[in-house]
Structure 1
Amino acid sequence: MPWQELRITTDSRHAEALSDALFDLGALSVSIEDAAAGTDAEKPIFGEPGEPVDQLWDHSIVVAHLDEDMDAALTVMAAAQAIGQTFEKVDVVEVAEQDWVRLTQSQFDPIPISQRLWITPTWHACPDPAAVNIQLDPGLAFGTGSHPTTRLCLQWLDAHLQGGETVLDYGCGSGILAIAAKKLGAGTTIGVDIDPQAMIASEQNAQQNNVEIAFFLPDAAPEGQYDVVVANILTNPLKALAPMLAGRVRSGGRITLSGILSEQAEDVMTIYRQWFDFGPVASHEGWVCLSGTRH
């Protein structure tokens, strides 16, 4: 079915109110974008899990999708009246009916992690059938191999697993790191995440890849220590969880930490050095992966 895309430029103070007004007026979906995206003025906004983002972009674009029968001009007028504002710029684009499944799939190609490790969507043939191929589709939980932190952790696992190690993937998301570890030869492997949706996604992905991995919410996770603990989350949770994560690594075992911006690396290592000797820092696109050996 064809529909209309409404793009309204506004400021950070009114973007959320405008989004709510458009939903109330019958918009099919609404999102907020940085008006400076793709320019030198583009500004990334980060928030830790469970913590709200304090502000939006100074200049935002509220993007609303409307049914083809809706009057876009009247919708804009009604939204303006609802929030008591006028708008800097309004654009309406007619979007033709498309095969959205095929269009979405075309945006996800196989991802090479190393010479022998690939992440491959299920609708693609494996680029190298002789390689270690992880079949993974975009879905309910974070982690498809495209983000720098996921890639760095996968590269670490590929380079350092010898086979037979016990592995804990803490903050498993889609289960990609646990699945990679298992397919690279790890022994007993478990994944832990605070999000019940991650449990669903991880279990489905493990079944899809024909590997046996148990996934748990934190309170249900079994006790014990592991040869390898990998945690690809964010800096603040890594700091808060340091004693627990360190306690999960056996003497002589390895820990791998990511989800860390380059400028945060030293702060994280300062906390973990009481338990670990760190090796060289791996980095990619402003993110780092830290790896250390338990004293």
Structure 2
Amino acid sequence: MAWLQLKAHIAPEQAERLEELLLAEGASAITLMDAHDDPVFEPDRGSTPLWRETVLTGLYDDLSAVEAMIERVQRAWAAELPEEPAPTIEYELLADRDWEREWMDGFEPLRMGERLWIVPSWHAAPEPDAVNLVLDPGLAFGTGTHPTTALCLNWLDAQALEQTQVLDYGCGSGILAIAALKLGADTAVGVDIDPQALQASRDNAERNALDETRLILDYPERLGQGEYAVVVANILAGPLIELAAQIAGRVAPGGQLALSGILEAQAESVLDAYRDQGLIMDEPREKEGWMLLTGRRPA
């Protein structure tokens, strides 16, 4: 079916009130976007930043009487905020599209390094004899298309992982932990605060026919004791700094660490946090403005 989309360019301080008015008119979804494409990669903790000019859209499945709806919204605005001009609201009809199918069609197999392929579950493997990781991310982060994930996967592909134990801190779809196992690691542990991520990781482990004893999945607070030959964490710079003692403390003597989810301007702060934990850090690697930081604990 077709959808009705209402759209308004507004100041950030107007967003909450207009959202309430559009929801009161039965909006199925509300979206806030930047009018000038100024990205907010990592907001301050506890904040919900908006841009200098915000585009607010409401989506409706009722296509009738749109002019009357807009008039009601503007009257309600004028009654509550008489000193502020009501936003100009535009509308258009959106043709029905199979968004899931379009996304699936755009996600092609990806080669990572020399040995590893990331293969969507609905595609055939381009090289059946390669190391093929079959993936369906579900609602969790991690497909291999983002530079941070690609940096980690290329790094894992270059490591000698045979008979190692790997920790994936913030496992998302499980892509890094499963890749490590497919590349020869003995066991892997994946932790995440999101239950949907843990479920997506379990599902992807099953798709790759991994014995459930080789991939342990749980919440970070239930990780228990233990050190690992390889520790990877692809999250964000703020949490990486806050969790530096916990993450670095999991790297065994002689073990290796890989961190991503870090913008170029944030790299030095993250490096300092892990050097303070006794790790020897390497020169950063960059891909499309995102950084991979690697290091090791002295034997």
Candidates 286, 289, 294, aligned match of 1:291:
294
SS at structure 1 position matched to 2:13: coil
Between the aligned residues of both structures, percent identity stands at 44
SS at structure 1 position matched to 2:270: helix
After superposition, residues 185-204 of structure 1 pair within 5 angstroms as 185-204=184-203
Alpha-carbon contact 1:48-1:236 (below 8 Å) kept = no
Alpha-carbon contact 2:191-2:220 (below 8 Å) kept = yes
* TM-superposed deviation, 1:253: 0.5
Candidates 239, 250, 256, aligned match of 2:252:
250
SS at structure 2 position matched to 1:106: helix
CA 1:97 to 1:260, structure 2 compared with 1: closer, same or farther past 3 Å?
closer
For the pair 1:74 / 2:73, whether they are aligned, the reply is: no
Residue 263 of structure 1: aligned partner: 265
For the pair 1:52 / 2:47, whether they are aligned, the reply is: yes
CA distance in 2, matches of 1:14, 1:224: 50
Moved over 4 A (4+): 85-89
- The number of residue pairs the alignment matches comes to 289
Deviations 1:12-41 (A, max 9, x none): 1112321222112101111011122xxxxx
Amino acid aligned to 2:279: F
Candidates 276, 286, 289, aligned match of 2:279:
276
For the pair 1:35 / 2:29, whether they are aligned, the reply is: no
- What's the TM-score once normalised by structure 2's chain length? 0.89
CA distance in 2, matches of 1:249, 1:154: 19
Alpha-carbon contact 2:275-2:281 (below 8 Å) kept = yes
Amino acid aligned to 1:47: E
RMSD value over aligned CA atoms?
2.0
Structure 2 residue runs of 5 or longer lacking an equivalent are: none
For the pair 1:141 / 2:136, whether they are aligned, the reply is: no
CA distance in 1, matches of 2:76, 2:110: 46
Deviations 1:83-113 (A, max 9, x none): 4454555332212233344223223222332
Residue 4 of structure 1: aligned partner: 4
CA 1:257 to 1:100, structure 2 compared with 1: closer, same or farther past 3 Å?
closer
SS at structure 1 position matched to 2:58: strand
CA 1:143 to 1:131, structure 2 compared with 1: closer, same or farther past 3 Å?
same
CA 1:269 to 1:4, structure 2 compared with 1: closer, same or farther past 3 Å?
same
CA distance in 1, matches of 2:255, 2:242: 21
* 111-120 or 26-35, larger mean C-alpha shift: 111-120
Deviations 1:117-149 (A, max 9, x none): 222221122222222222222422111112211
For the pair 1:154 / 2:144, whether they are aligned, the reply is: no
